[in-house]
Chains A and B, each alone.
Chain A
Amino acid sequence: MNETAAALALQGATRRLGGRAVVRGIDLAIHSGEVLGLLGVNGAGKTTTLRMMAGVLAPDRGSVRLHGADLREEPERGRARIGYLPETPPLHAELTAREYLAFCARLHGVARGVVATRVERAIERCDLGDVSRRPLGALSKGYRQRVGIAQAIVHEPEVVILDEPASGLDPVQALALRALVRNLGQSHAVVLSTHVLPDVAACCDRVAILHRGELRHVGAVGSADGALRVGVARPLAAAVWNDMPEVAAAEALDASHWRVRPAAGIAPEQIAAAIVSHGFGLTELVADTSPLESTFLAIAAGEAAEAV
């Protein structure tokens, strides 16, 4: 991708904190309409990287560029164009969601006349209608997290940076969050930091893996060959898959799960239709993330370092 066209780009970004280089020489670009997953074990430098992207921290060396302009030289540019959800949602407990979001909108430079519209839209997108007039201090963890996301998008920024947004959410809320992030990714550049690999597989177009302050891997989520992880209720023999023209190859992962590579030009929904028509008892069909898992675990264990 063209670096100069990136909505946000880190170029050789290095940051020292407490006398230690927490991140070193990060080169990473994020484009509009893309969701980038940022993975790494605790202490890998994810939060520091996100803070630099959000303009909270300036890099000691290198730069953070918003549409090509250095954020350090023009910090005001980031005010309206970047939305940031820190690891702990920065909520003012004594205010209602509406009051708080109105303040956040004004803080990010939204004109007074359109604040109400923007607040209403953020409330709608984050499904906060039922609690919008309750004090934030009285909300559940899930709602507080959603208000945190709403404050990151209320000014409709071009870049949305989310640090562990699924932290503390129950499974239903986590699924709703995935849908929201996917939705945001259609019109914004979204950076999502998380420990949860299935969230990356479900939401992200690309993944970047940080380890010990260095960027060790950047690539597409899932297999390069578009392989799918398929769950079936019936025990199958490998030959059954070979008879299907929609399938190029299949290998058993366990008794009820297969790694299936579609034939050229075949979409996942066609594979699903074929499995259903053959009566295999389809129980699961997702993008195969085993390469992501193995890459992440290998890097985290320090066993391998894939070049960027």
Chain B
Amino acid sequence: MNAALLLARHEWRRLAMQPFAWTLAAIVVALMAWQFLLSIQTYLDVAPKLGGLRDAPGATDLVALPLLRGFSNLLLLLVPLITMRAIAGERRAATLPLLLAAGIGDTRIVLGKFLGAWGYVLALTALVAMMPLSLAAGTTPDLGKLAAALCGLALFSAALTAIGVLASTLAAQPALAAAAAIAINALLAMVDAGARAQGVTNGGINYLALPTHLEPFFQGIVASVDIVYFLLIVAVALALAVRRLGMLRGAAA
């Protein structure tokens, strides 16, 4: 495990040295800040009309959660850009043998890469979370609901990161790895779209879809079935990545 953490720290250090990571973070924060400001303006416009309603939605429902929901959609595209270089980048730069020859084992290599990328995504999530949390300065946000939503985002991003790392072991080029991960993410996000259109919301196909398990967190519901779903995706994707890395040993440059 120490070797996996060492590798994860090394990944963070490498990300910190790359303009790519900072640029990506800047773009994401700017986009989310823009959406946040628009949401606040909309909320301020409708707030006087909400005063007379019973159980009227507050700033958490009208500003914070839409922002985090939007961020979750952005993660479907964003995480593959971060994970694409995990293994495919090492292969392209011919640096994979350094890790393969270090005697730390394929599982720790994959875990280290996963933790490194997930750490960056969590840092980004924390930056975005500052915006809804800043509402506390002028109103009283539902912190329980926010905590549930952030917990869901953390699990959701872990699943996307694991899928991204798996895709990075499958492709020799980082761009292909990103494309493969985006395709898998899109499939998992929309796999039950047809069923939903038909009004089916609790079938087997719904269980496979990512939004089925993320949405309850945004409603403040932390259910073990949703936690297990995300952990299952992480475990399966990382296990497949370890297996694939073992196969890559024969072809490693």
Contacts and interface: CB of A to CB of B under 8 A. Distances in A.
Nearest to A88: B94
A75 B3 CA distance: 14
A107 to B, nearest CB: 5
Given A17-B250, A95-B17, A107-B3, A90 B98 contact: yes
Nearest to A108: B102
Interface in B207-253: 249-253
Interface string B1-15: 001001100100110
A55 B14 contact: no
Nearest to A78: B103
B73 interface: no
Contacts of B93: 90, 92-93
A56 B14 contact: no
Contacts of B94: 86, 88, 90
B95 interface: yes
A57 B249 contact: yes
A106 B6 contact: yes
Most buried by A among B10, B251, B253: B10
B222 to A, nearest CB: 37
Scoring B3, B97, B102, B251 by chain A CB atoms within 10 A of each residue's CB, the highest score goes to B102
Interface in B54-109: 93-105
B253 A86 contact: yes
Nearest to B105: A75
Interface string A36-58: 00000000000000010011111
A99 interface: yes
Contacts of B250: 17-18, 57
Nearest to A16: B250
Given A76-B103, A79-B102, A84 B97 contact: yes
B18 interface: yes
A77 B105 CA distance: 12
A94 B17 contact: yes
A90 B102 contact: no
A36 B221 CA distance: 65
B103 A79 contact: yes
A190 interface: no
A93 B94 CA distance: 11
Ranked nearest first, the 8 interchain pairs of A and B with the lowest CB-CB distance are A79-B103, A90-B98, A90-B95, A88-B94, A94-B17, A86-B97, A84-B101, A78-B103
Given A86-B253, A90-B96, 20 more contacts: A17-B251, A51-B97, A51-B101, A54-B97, A55-B100, A55-B103, A56-B97, A56-B249, A77-B103, A90-B94, A90-B97, A92-B14, A92-B93, A95-B13, A103-B6, A104-B98, A106-B6, A107-B7, A107-B104, A108-B103
28 contacts: A17-B250, A51-B97, A51-B101, A51-B252, A55-B100, A55-B101, A56-B100, A56-B249, A56-B252, A57-B250, A75-B103, A76-B103, A77-B103, A80-B103, A82-B101, A84-B97, A84-B101, A86-B94, A86-B97, A87-B253, A90-B96, A91-B95, A92-B93, A92-B95, A94-B18, A99-B13, A107-B102, A108-B103
